[in-house]
Amino acid sequence: MPNPTQPTASHFINGTYVEDTAGAEIPVIYPATGEQIGVVHEATPAIIEQAITSAKAAQKAWAAMSGTERGRILRRAADMIRECNHDLSVLETYDTGKPMSETLYVDATSGADALEYFGGLAGSLTGEHIQLGEDWVYTRREALGLCVGIGAWNYPTQIACWKGAPALACGNAMIFKPSETTPLCALKIAEILHEAGLPAGLYNVIQGTGAVGAPLVTDPRVDKVSLTGSVPTGRKVYAAAAEGIKHVTMELGGKSPLIIFDDASLEDAVGGAILANFYSSGQVCSNGTRVFVQKGIKEAFLKRLHERLQTVVMGDPLDEATNFGPMVSERQMQIVQGFIEKGKAEGARLVCGGERIGTEGFFLEPTVFADVTDGMTIATDEIFGPVMSVLDFETEDEAIARANATEFGLSAGVFTTDLARGHRVIAQMEAGSCFINSYNDAPVEAPFGGAKNSGVGRENSKAAIEHYSQMKSVYVRMGAVDAPF
Ligand code: NDP
């Protein structure tokens, strides 16, 4: 393994690294070179059992601590993450291939933000007192118990923290299963949490494919499942969790619209479209991949976009000058190449990109299609790669109707200098996380999540507390009981 900061075993259970070589090997591939840089073993049934047992054993005492005590540990972990930001960013780059120019500023940082924010909230989680004449009701905000987090591969550090931080703040235990494509980062988060003082068993990480996620979801000892993944996986996991009437958060895919009106600042709109399509090589769930540009500025928009894309620095993700990395895996690269071919075959105009670069690693050029129509595959399906579809429109009503004509509802954006129009359009977007004259900002203070098939529940912000705790209400009678018999 080239990086000394890499985790030392496949799983982290009950406060320590655990190995079980009986589990199938999962190679860890560095996406920038295609080289194997490590191996982890899929969790065996014994490992899954160990994780569940230790989490169950630890949870009640954790929930019984004061929120302030729990929060202090989370905030300490946040500080430690910031102190190791460089090493964690290198690890994120090894796991995902995303360039250090991103990972140094986004991944561990956003994970630390979540731990700091929910650590701060933990001490203020309360119920309420409801006076009913002499009698009264009080409510207790209680932990759900054992939460399972299942992650996608695009933001392994961030997802591990976005799920872990609110779960732990509310007094739950968590078992986190990263994507098999990016197994490393969550282990480091578990290690840091325990070094920060988290009692053993409260944040366990076990590796594996969906075959490991599935038994976790159906285990009767699990109270909640939070998945970040695609809509088809979401359907399966939601259905399996429903069998046990479990709480769920589903953060699923999208095909989000970005509407650019002809009064927008062209430079900002082009910048917004770049952020909405090419950050993390396009592997972002909330990306605005259907870019609706009002007819009057379409050619000027495409010209400026093309010019700015010439300045992309693609290459070694460990070089901080690089600002565009590879696809996470060969498979993902092939999926995206398939969509590019479909785009060409269905008659979209290729403005730039479309090619694989080099034979080592999984690099694809940032790709822009224009003259895309609503029914084309590249306009209807989530691609999860650096492929922007530009569609043109004439009127506001038309743009709104076409933007909403999708099963997805994760995000939406609008660029205009007419702020009244900006708010009016966003109010009509069937989407959970929206932007006006910006794109893809995800501060921990703001709720994040999807409408329609893009998911249920919200991560981040105070809204996440509702999804990791439950209310108990207690009626207290002060006088005699008046029974009919
Ligand atoms: P997948 O849906 O393929 O997988 C998500 C996770 O679920 C993985 O850890 C996977 O394991 C696991 N899994 C698969 N099948 C099951 C099952 N039957 N039971 C339990 N767990 C299972 O998504 P990707 O990893 O390919 O990530 C890309 C997708 O994630 C995109 O659609 C993207 O939009 C979405 N996403 C959504 C975000 C959001 O917040 N809304 C953020 C980021 C991504 P394994 O892969 O190891 O087999």
The model's pLDDT over 44-85, given as tens digits with 9 standing for 90+, comes to 999 999 999 999 999 999 999 999 999 999 999 999 999 999
- In the chain, the amino acid numbered 408 is F
- Dihedral sign for Cα atoms in the order 88, 91, 95, 99: positive
Query: What is the CA(196)–ligand 1 centre distance, in A?
Result: 29
Residue of 285, 298, 382, 434 with catalytic role: 285
Query: Is 298 among the catalytic positions?
Result: no
The model's pLDDT over 210-253, given as tens digits with 9 standing for 90+, comes to 999 999 999 999 999 999 999 999 999 999 999 999 999 999 99
Query: Is 251 among the catalytic positions?
Result: yes
Atom of ligand 1 at shortest distance to CA of 254? 34
The model's pLDDT over 339-379, given as tens digits with 9 standing for 90+, comes to 999 999 999 999 999 999 999 999 999 999 999 999 999 99
Among the listed residues 291, 306, 300, the one whose alpha carbon sits nearest the alpha carbon of residue 371: 291
- Token couple for 73: 């540990």
**What is d(CA 431, CA 434) in angstroms, rounded to the nearest whole number?**
7
- Token couple for 466: 């509702």
- In the chain, the amino acid numbered 418 is D
Per-residue pLDDT band at 5 (split at 50, 70, 90): low
pLDDT at 2 over 80: no
Query: Is 147 among the catalytic positions?
Result: no
Query: What is the CA(229)–ligand 1 centre distance, in A?
Result: 3
Nearest CA owner, ligand 1 atom 22:
210
pTM higher than the cut 0.85: yes
Query: Is 25 among the catalytic positions?
Result: no
Atom of ligand 1 at shortest distance to CA of 214? 19
The model's pLDDT over 463-484, given as tens digits with 9 standing for 90+, comes to 999 999 999 999 999 999 999 9
Query: What is the CA(35)–ligand 1 centre distance, in A?
Result: 23
Helix (H, G, I), strand (E, B) or coil at 295: helix
- In the chain, the amino acid numbered 480 is A
Proportion of the chain in helix, strand, coil states, percent, rounded to 5: 40, 20, 40
The model's pLDDT over 420-432, given as tens digits with 9 standing for 90+, comes to 999 999 999 999 9
Pocket test for ligand 1, best of 228, 236, 407 (most atoms within 8 A of CB): 228
Q: What is the number of alpha carbons within 13 Å of residue 285 lying toward its C-beta?
A: 28
The model's pLDDT over 171-210, given as tens digits with 9 standing for 90+, comes to 999 999 999 999 999 999 999 999 999 999 999 999 999 9
Averaged confidence pLDDT in the chain: 97
Residues composing the chain: 485
Helix (H, G, I), strand (E, B) or coil at 107: helix
Query: What is the CA(232)–ligand 1 centre distance, in A?
Result: 9
